[in-house]
Homo-oligomer: A and B are copies of this chain.
Amino acid sequence: MRSKHYATKLRQLILEYLMQDASRTVTAKDIYEHLAAHDASISRTTIYRYLDKLVREGRLLKNSTDGGKTACYLYEHEPDCGHHLHLRCGQCGKVTHLDCQEAENFIQHVLQEHDFTLHCGSFILYGVCHACKMQQALSQG
């Protein structure tokens, strides 16, 4: 279902950056700064347009950081959009892929009992991970 497209250097760079660490979500700004730091000048417009395209093709999950406002993206190595949930720690930014039975069951339950189809954008849940909780506890005495 992928529309026709050309291989360009900029897109390759963006994609590499997105794929490089599937345990982080990325913002348009992150990409801009990353490319800038690597001497690749790029316009924000190009970034947004390419991200949009990837989202439409289902290769990227689009979501928002906890507060709202800024959109963030997560590369889906298995582009079966909507088959597993993710947990993202708001402090260290790490993303855990929930491929356990419980998550599976929950999604099925929502779909069957509540007759509700989850949107891809809701496949990232936010919170705080174990490591950050510990650190927080320590720093609070």
Contact = CB atoms under 8 A, between A and B. Distances in A.
B105 A117 contact: no
A5 to B, nearest CB: 22
Nearest to A108: B102
Contacts of A113: 100, 102
Query: How many monomers of this protein are in the complex?
Result: 2
B68 A69 contact: yes
Interface string A109-141: 110011111110110011111100100000000
A81 B67 CA distance: 16
Interface of A: 62-64, 66-72, 87, 89-90, 96, 98, 100, 102-103, 105-106, 109-110, 113-119, 121-122, 125-130, 133
